[in-house]
Chains A and B, each alone.
Chain A
Amino acid sequence: MSTFGHRIAHNGGLLGAIALFVVMFTIYTSNHPVGLTAAVAATAANKAVLLALVAMAQTLPVLTRGLDLSVGMVFILANCLASAIVVGTIGEGFLGIVAVLGVGALAGLLNGAIVVWGRLQPIITTLATGAIYYGTALFIRPGPGGDVQSDIADFATGQLFGVFPTSLAILLAVVVFVWLPYRNSVLGRAAYAVGSNEQAAYMSGVPVQRAKLLAYTLAGLLAALGGLMLTFNTYSGEASSPIAGNYTLNSIAAVVIGGTSLFGGWGSAIGSIFGAFVLRTIEDLLFVFNLDPLWQPLFQGIVLLAAVSLGAVRILRIRNRLELFA
């Protein structure tokens, strides 16, 4: 197979997600009463970037054959914390942002430490730590409320040069300055190796423990960034368990739609971003087509189920039945 053909085959999931998103977004904008204006784009971007960041966060542990069920809780914790400390002058606001991101990274590090040194299963570890983070968020903000530094918030949710949504630029910056360097670093490659085959990775001298620790820490950091962006959108914090659960579950769906294997070692955070965009565009489509609100949850559920069922085409390629159980 040529190099080009190989690359296409290797990124099939990602390309599929991008194609799906482009089709859906074209249908959306062509049916939107106003069309694609800067304001429409910014609103759509602000909503989609939140899930995209959380989905990126989810991708990192999934690549190591783990799972982070606490991303939604870290997201909410960052939201509540930001509504309390990202206030005052612009300088104080930026200090607050650093603190929020630090707390997110610390939450991720705690997950990683328990998984690596405590050797508990990631799914059950993050289930328990998720309760702890949610409790902390509730402690900070027992009822909805709070405030946020409005200059930073307006900038982060507005448009660059009056056209390009700033939130999308932030997402792009995360890809360029966090994801791509991570993907090409020793520990990033190690994460893929660990996800493919942990024993083989260990035998080859791959730093298994550090790779896992970094993956969970970065996941916490990205989820916290998502929570920060949520605060900029809503100007308040709310410790809502349904929102946290919703984001956790949708992040897993976005990861799968983006072509990342839940069995680890295969996929990319960029795919997850488009997976998140697809999920968000579905909701927008329902809006422009004026679907009866009663039918919306069912329609969303069927699209979600159909999208993840696309993964079943894998079994058509299998020649030996024993590969089914891999």
Chain B
Amino acid sequence: MNDPKLQAGTLPVLRFALDRSVLIAFGCIVLMLLGGALYSREFLSPEYLLQQLQISAFLGIIASGAMMVILIGHIDLSIPWTVTLGAMMATAVAGWYGEIGSAIAIPVGVLCGAFVGFLNGLGVAYLRLPSMIFTLGMNAVVQGLMVLHTGGFAPQDHATDAMHFLAVGRPIFGVPNALFIWIIVGGFITYLLTRTAFGRRVYAVGNRETAAYLSGVNTNAVIILCFVLSGAAAAFAGVLLAGYSTKAYQAMGDPYLLPAIAAVVLGGTNILGGRGNYLGTIAGVVLITLLQSILAVMQMPEAGRQIIYGVVILVMLLGYGRGEIDRK
């Protein structure tokens, strides 16, 4: 206990410290903006940057939830249809119950996502099934439910005014509402991870669940809560996406699974759990959104975009340093 690094008070600071991967990620963001500026001045205009941050917000909210699950050493593959579920249930409730429906649409969408996350958590914590395969099955079930829901009941798919306002409105100094929401969600996750006992337990479970269990941590509760947060975040992002594109549609969450995981990992979070901070996830999300945007602006064909996307992820991860060799 003489080592000053081990004092309890300094730990949260350490967790938020700029480590190598976060520095590299932010460095790459700056490099990409400068490189883009050489191509066109537009890349440094406040309007372009704000727009990028607005688009980042949706991925950022999804990645916040994905990060909680990755931190405990699991993975949530049910994100795609949880996003769609959130959007579809919110718009449907608004259609079914009129005025009251519009008021409760957003909470209902988020609660549906949280419930899917709860079921995921039960399967992973109590049935002890690998999260990769259980959440995959859950994704298929939710997809089935949504196909039945849209095909059988033909619910309303138009976003409510409130959803539209939250996703695209810019009432305060022209800063998009979506960005404020991401800041609130990010602040909440950062608070959870660095200032609460639950946050400590998340890192403990991610590092070694046996040790956490033997130390008296209710590891099953931690696992379930992390999955609930992931489901709720994905569904909330779905609600906002419905507001952004004014309607909910099939498979609207599919393009978000891999970027969300890639963003979390590019932000320096260990895919095996136990290590990572939210600042890195912010860097990862902005990096991926910016990369996609610059490639789109340069009118790179989809084939080239995919290849560059894969190469950038690999090169950056190799630059973060290779994993420790597991032979001791």
Write the residues of chain A forming the contact surface with B, with a CB cutoff of 8 angstroms.
67, 114, 118-121, 123-125, 127-132, 134-136, 138-139, 142, 198-199, 202-203, 242, 245, 249, 252-253, 256, 262-263, 294-302, 304-305, 308-309, 311-312, 314-315, 321-322, 324-325
Closest to B265 in A: A124
Residue pair B127, A119 in contact (C-beta under 8 Å): no
Point out the residues of chain A lying under 8 angstroms from B311, CB to CB. Answer: 128, 132
Residue pair A305, B318 in contact (C-beta under 8 Å): no
Pairs A–B under 8 Å by Cβ, sample size 10: A128-B313, A135-B303, A135-B310, A202-B327, A253-B133, A298-B144, A300-B144, A308-B133, A308-B137, A312-B129
Listed from nearest, the 4 A-B pairs whose CB atoms lie closest are A298-B144, A135-B306, A301-B140, A131-B310
Residue pair B130, A305 in contact (C-beta under 8 Å): no
Known interface pairs A296-B144, A324-B128; 19 further A-B residue pairs with C-beta atoms within 8 A, sorted by A's residue number: A118-B314, A119-B322, A119-B325, A125-B314, A128-B313, A131-B307, A132-B307, A136-B303, A138-B303, A199-B328, A294-B152, A297-B147, A298-B145, A300-B144, A301-B137, A309-B137, A311-B130, A312-B128, A315-B128
Point out the residues of chain A lying under 8 angstroms from B63, CB to CB. Answer: none
- Which of chain B's residues 105-157 have a Cβ closer than 8 Å to chain A? 123, 127-130, 132-134, 136-145, 147-148, 151-152
Point out the residues of chain A lying under 8 angstroms from B77, CB to CB. Answer: 249
- Which of chain B's residues 249-273 have a Cβ closer than 8 Å to chain A? 254, 258, 261-262, 265, 271-272
Residue pair A139, B141 in contact (C-beta under 8 Å): no
Residue pair B133, A252 in contact (C-beta under 8 Å): yes
Closest to A123 in B: B271
Residue pair B133, A256 in contact (C-beta under 8 Å): yes
Residue pair A129, B310 in contact (C-beta under 8 Å): yes
Closest to A312 in B: B127
B63 → chain A closest CB, angstroms: 14
B257 → chain A closest CB, angstroms: 9
B51 → chain A closest CB, angstroms: 24
- A297–B272 Cα gap in the complex (Å)? 32
Name the contact of B306 in the complex, choosing from A118, A138, A249, A302 (C-beta under 8 A): A138
Residue pair B140, A128 in contact (C-beta under 8 Å): no
Residue pair A127, B323 in contact (C-beta under 8 Å): no
Name the contact of A142 in the complex, choosing from B301, B313, B324 (C-beta under 8 A): B301
Name the contact of B309 in the complex, choosing from A131, A199, A322 (C-beta under 8 A): A131
A116 → chain B closest CB, angstroms: 11
Point out the residues of chain B lying under 8 angstroms from A312, CB to CB. Answer: 127-129
Residue pair B303, A139 in contact (C-beta under 8 Å): yes
**Chain B interface size range:** 35 or more
Point out the residues of chain B lying under 8 angstroms from A302, CB to CB. Answer: 141, 144
Q: Is B48 an interface residue (CB 8 A)?
A: no
Residue pair A252, B136 in contact (C-beta under 8 Å): yes
Name the contact of A304 in the complex, choosing from B137, B210, B258 (C-beta under 8 A): B137
- A21–B327 Cα gap in the complex (Å)? 41
Closest to B220 in A: A324
- A304–B326 Cα gap in the complex (Å)? 34
B151 → chain A closest CB, angstroms: 4
Point out the residues of chain B lying under 8 angstroms from A131, CB to CB. Answer: 258, 306-307, 309-310, 313
Point out the residues of chain A lying under 8 angstroms from B328, CB to CB. Answer: 199
Report if A252-B128 is in contact (Cβ < 8 Å); known contacts: A119-B323, A135-B310, A202-B327.
no
Q: Is B302 an interface residue (CB 8 A)?
A: yes
B316 → chain A closest CB, angstroms: 9
Q: Is B213 an interface residue (CB 8 A)?
A: yes
Q: Is B76 an interface residue (CB 8 A)?
A: no
Residue pair A300, B140 in contact (C-beta under 8 Å): yes
Q: Is B317 an interface residue (CB 8 A)?
A: yes
Closest to A208 in B: B327
Name the contact of A309 in the complex, choosing from B75, B129, B144 (C-beta under 8 A): B129
- A309–B132 Cα gap in the complex (Å)? 12
- A121–B271 Cα gap in the complex (Å)? 7
Name the contact of A132 in the complex, choosing from B75, B310, B323, B325 (C-beta under 8 A): B310
What 1/0 mask marks residues of chain B from 193 to 213 whose CB sits below 8 Å from any chain A CB? Answer: 000000000000000011001
Q: Is B27 an interface residue (CB 8 A)?
A: no
Residue pair A298, B141 in contact (C-beta under 8 Å): yes
- Which of chain B's residues 281-301 have a Cβ closer than 8 Å to chain A? 301
Point out the residues of chain B lying under 8 angstroms from A256, CB to CB. Answer: 130, 133
Point out the residues of chain B lying under 8 angstroms from A199, CB to CB. Answer: 326-328
Closest to B123 in A: A309
